[in-house]
């Protein structure tokens, strides 16, 4: 039987999409997107895309701060093509 999280189809990555033992990902690009449900009002947020994944991760304050700490820069221009193990992403 599948996990409940496997039954929910999402346009974006979530914690369960990452291997808990860590997967090295490489940042491809960041893009501001409307992340609202199709029938809801627009809600624009930054989404980070990785070479190794087919969907992006919506940046919230926690994971954006964590990525900035891991990559030692709050300037997202410095994040381009950087890699790290995803086990360091918080829930």
pLDDT in tens, 52-74: 999 999 999 998 998 999 999 99
Say how far apart CA 59 and CA 45 lie, in whole Å.
Answer: 7
pTM of the model: 0.83
pLDDT tens digits, one per residue of 5-28: 566 678 999 888 888 788 899 999
Q: Which of 78, 66, 72 is nearest to 30 (CA)?
A: 78
Measured CA to CA, the distance from residue 22 to residue 86 in angstroms comes to: 5
Distance of CA 38 to the CA centre of its chain: 20
Distance (Å, rounded) from C-alpha 76 to C-alpha 84? Answer: 15
Q: Which pLDDT value is given to residue 57?
A: 95
């Amino acid at each position: 039987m599948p996990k409940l999280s496997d039954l929910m189809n999402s346009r974006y990555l979530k914690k369960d999409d990452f291997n808990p033992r860590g997967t090295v990902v490489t940042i491809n690009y960041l893009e501001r997107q409307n992340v609202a449900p199709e029938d809801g009002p627009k809600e624009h947020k930054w989404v980070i895309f990785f070479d190794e994944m087919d969907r992006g991760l919506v940046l919230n304050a926690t994971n954006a701060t964590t990525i900035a700490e891991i990559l030692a820069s709050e300037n997202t221009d410095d994040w381009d093509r950087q890699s790290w193990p995803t086990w360091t992403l918080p829930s």
